[in-house]
């Protein structure tokens, strides 16, 4: 594949990075390693450290969305930044993430012409935001040359709310980096004191910390030395969990936010990784990271998690939102090391489907399809839509003065 100029737009701020931001960052790196010129546009405060390929657009505004808090940028000034970035980039293909969210991605979709690829991450049974946005964006959606969904759940959300279809290309993981990460004695367990890890935003109920806290007393009754290693930010969520745990709170170790290197070491060191999420998950990237690190996984039986765990062959599943069932699954995994090791072996093989070497091949194929379609229509590169008839201020343009008026 010939080198391309690829512009990637991330809707969510790098000030508080999550799964989409990490996906965008790693995709840019993987494409760059293959000789493509990549530029990323994303919200980020001037003090936030971002990769060299990222063009920050300034501070974002926190907005509650899909059970969490998304930090988004929108409005006329941001639209002007988007226009300048597209003009300067001269991209062969523009890759927008979550273009239905009021964000830089939506602004880019409004103003861009040429080969446009869109990736959809969200998984929801019902989305009022998508239902409201669809009529307003129907015309703009026609600009998208190719659609990607990160999972079958995300694809179903797209089909149900927007119509059309998408190719499923999963989130990627640097599998070998997790497999080769060093262990850390602080986080390694023993036969009498196994370690159970959890990573996630502590103040987002859908991440399921409260489910783990409710399951802990039963786990500790049968395995009293168990240590729970909790990584993630959210003082309110931590305080609520400590209050709910009562006398068992001492078994929880609060690690706060962790670096990428510490996350990999934590997953390599723990005996089990627990994913007690209650909903709103379209993929489950941390499960893939834990599988890559060789850690046994126990996860709620959300559709996305079930698929990542090969329907339970690569890890144990429990009924979503049920602490007792979580406790049973954790205790069974700790009591049956041979079975857990067999599941880890299956995970080691299955996880290769999610390695960036495979995922990048699939993304490149979508780019090639989008560019080929654009060339067939005489649309070679991404540019501004100079004929757009949308409100000038929303596109970051000065309104034309009336004929004969003063500009």
Query: Taking 50 as the threshold, does the pLDDT of residue 403 lie above it?
Result: no
pLDDT at 407: 32
Model confidence at 101, pLDDT cuts 50, 70, 90, reads confident
Model confidence at 404, pLDDT cuts 50, 70, 90, reads very low
Measuring CA to CA, which residue among 8, 102, 124 is closest to residue 382? 8
Which of 14-23, 215-224, 301-310, 393-402 has the least mean pLDDT? 393-402
DSSP, collapsed to helix, strand or coil, labels residue 96 as strand
Residue 402 lies inside a defined structural domain of this protein: no
Q: What is the average pLDDT across 227-256? A: 96
pLDDT at 377: 61
CA 152, 339, 263 angle in degrees (round to 5)? 60
pLDDT at 158: 87
- Does residue 216 sit in the same domain as residue 310? yes
Mean pLDDT, the chain, integer: 88
Residue 48 lies inside a defined structural domain of this protein: yes
pLDDT tens by residue, 172-196: 999 999 999 999 999 999 999 999 9
Q: In angstroms, rounded to a whole number, what is the distance separating the alpha carbons of residues 296 and 267?
A: 9
Query: Taking 50 as the threshold, does the pLDDT of residue 278 lie above it?
Result: yes
Residue 400 lies inside a defined structural domain of this protein: no
**β-bridge pairing 146-149 and 116-120:** parallel
Per the structure, the count of domains in the chain is 2
C-alpha R_g of the chain: 23
Model confidence at 79, pLDDT cuts 50, 70, 90, reads very high
Q: In angstroms, rounded to a whole number, what is the distance separating the alpha carbons of residues 188 and 227?
A: 10
Q: In angstroms, rounded to a whole number, what is the distance separating the alpha carbons of residues 57 and 44?
A: 6
Q: Alpha carbon of 375 to those of 3, 66, 115, 116: distances in Å? A: 16, 37, 9, 12
All residues at 6 or more sequence positions from 342 whose CB lies less than 8 Å from its CB, including other chains: none
- Does residue 310 sit in the same domain as residue 298? yes
All residues at 6 or more sequence positions from 260 whose CB lies less than 8 Å from its CB, including other chains: none
Model confidence at 68, pLDDT cuts 50, 70, 90, reads low
- Does residue 250 sit in the same domain as residue 274? yes
Model confidence at 134, pLDDT cuts 50, 70, 90, reads low
- Does residue 221 sit in the same domain as residue 341? yes
Q: What is the average pLDDT across 94-104? A: 93
- Identify the domain containing residue 244 by its residue range: 175-354
**Residue 336: which CATH number?**
3.40.50.2000
Question: How long a stretch of residues is the chain?
Answer: 407
Residue 407 lies inside a defined structural domain of this protein: no
- Does residue 245 sit in the same domain as residue 147? no
């Amino acid at each position: 594949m010939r080198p391309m100029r690829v512009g990637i737009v991330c809707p969510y701020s790098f000030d508080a990075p999550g799964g989409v931001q990490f996906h965008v960052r790693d995709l840019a790196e993987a494409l760059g390693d293959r000789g493509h010129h990549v530029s990323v546009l994303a919200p980020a405060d001037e003090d936030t450290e971002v990769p060299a390929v990222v063009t920050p657009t300034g501070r974002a505004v926190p907005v509650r969305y899909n059970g969490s808090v998304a930090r988004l940028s929108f409005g006329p000034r941001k639209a002007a930044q988007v226009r300048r970035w597209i003009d300067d980039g001269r991209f062969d293909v523009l890759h927008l993430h979550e273009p239905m969210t009021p964000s830089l991605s939506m602004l880019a979709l409004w103003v861009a012409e040429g080969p446009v690829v869109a990736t959809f991450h969200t998984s929801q049974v019902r989305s009022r935001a998508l239902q409201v946005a669809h009529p307003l964006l129907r015309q703009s959606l026609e600009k998208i040359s190719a659609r990607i969904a990160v999972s079958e759940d995300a694809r179903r959300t797209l089909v149900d709310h927007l119509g059309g279809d998408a190719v499923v290309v999963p989130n990627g993981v640097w599998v070998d980096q997790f497999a080769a990460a060093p262990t850390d004695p602080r986080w390694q367990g023993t036969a009498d004191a196994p370690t159970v890890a959890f990573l996630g935003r502590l103040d987002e109920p859908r991440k399921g910390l409260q489910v783990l806290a409710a399951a802990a007393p039963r786990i500790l009754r049968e395995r009293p030395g168990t240590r729970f290693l909790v990584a993630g930010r959210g003082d309110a969520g931590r305080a609520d969990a400590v209050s709910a745990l009562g006398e068992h709170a001492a078994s929880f170790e609060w690690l706060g936010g962790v670096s990428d290197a510490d996350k990999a070491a934590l997953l390599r060191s723990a005996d089990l990784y627990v994913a007690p999420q209650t909903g709103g998950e379209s993929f489950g990237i941390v499960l893939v990271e834990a599988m890559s690190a060789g850690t046994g996984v126990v996860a709620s039986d959300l559709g996305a998690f079930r698929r990542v765990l090969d329907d339970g062959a690569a890890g144990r599943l429990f009924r979503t939102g049920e602490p007792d069932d979580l406790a049973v699954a954790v205790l069974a995994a700790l009591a049956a090391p041979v079975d857990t090791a067999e599941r880890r072996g299956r995970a080691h093989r299955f996880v290769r489907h999610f390695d960036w070497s495979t995922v990048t091949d699939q993304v490149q194929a979508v780019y090639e399809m989008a560019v080929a379609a654009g060339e067939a229509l005489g649309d070679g590169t991404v540019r501004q839509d100079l004929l757009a008839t949308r409100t000038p201020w929303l596109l970051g343009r000065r309104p034309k003065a009336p004929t004969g008026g003063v500009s």
